[in-house]
């Protein structure tokens, strides 16, 4: 039995800090403005509330950028590579960090409550029967 206790408030606070830092740096670096006219691309994800409106950034592009980081992590793990920019760290570790950074940046730019969603999802998963060791070990259970 584990002595771990989930603290959703701590998760929400920590993830909120990460979201503000990741998005803040990207915004300060100009990734959330139209470089041709200086217009801000930060805004409410209007598509969720009004399906006929498009969000300020291309959601597919942002998601593919996350996916590309995960693919690079897989390649680093598959080949056992060290990272080329942080050579003291495995590529798997650095590319996973890039994926997380991109997720938090995207959430910040679209004004999503990723911190709250992570806290709630962790709490939900903690109570899931199909996530319990005995159910995972059972015939037909989730092995991985």
SS3 of 12-66: HHHHHHHHHHHHHHHHHCCCCECCCCCCECCCCCHHHHCCCCCCCCCHHHHHHHH
pLDDT tens-place string over residues 2-29? 789 999 999 999 999 999 999 999 999 9
141 domain residue, yes or no = no
Predicted TM-score of the model (pTM): 0.84
144 domain residue, yes or no = no
- Is the pLDDT at 113 greater than 70? The verdict is yes
pLDDT tens-place string over residues 61-79? 999 999 999 999 999 999 9
1 domain residue, yes or no = no
Q: How many domains does the chain have?
A: 1
> Quick one: pLDDT at residue 128?
84
Which domain does 111 fall in, by range?
8-133
């Amino acid at each position: 039995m584990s002595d771990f206790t989930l603290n959703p408030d701590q998760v929400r606070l920590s993830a909120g800090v990460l979201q503000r830092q990741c998005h803040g740096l990207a915004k300060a670096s100009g990734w959330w403005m139209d470089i041709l006219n200086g217009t801000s691309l930060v805004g409410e994800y209007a598509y969720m509330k009004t399906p006929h409106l498009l969000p300020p950034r291309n959601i597919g592009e942002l998601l593919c950028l996350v996916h590309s980081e995960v693919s690079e992590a897989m390649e680093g793990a598959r080949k056992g590579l060290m990272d080329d920019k942080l050579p003291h760290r495995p590529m798997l570790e650095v590319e996973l960090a890039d994926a997380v950074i991109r997720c938090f940046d995207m959430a910040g730019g679209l004004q999503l409550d990723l911190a709250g969603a992570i806290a709630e999802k962790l709490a939900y998963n903690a109570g899931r029967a199909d996530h319990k060791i005995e159910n995972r070990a059972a015939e037909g259970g989730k092995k991985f």
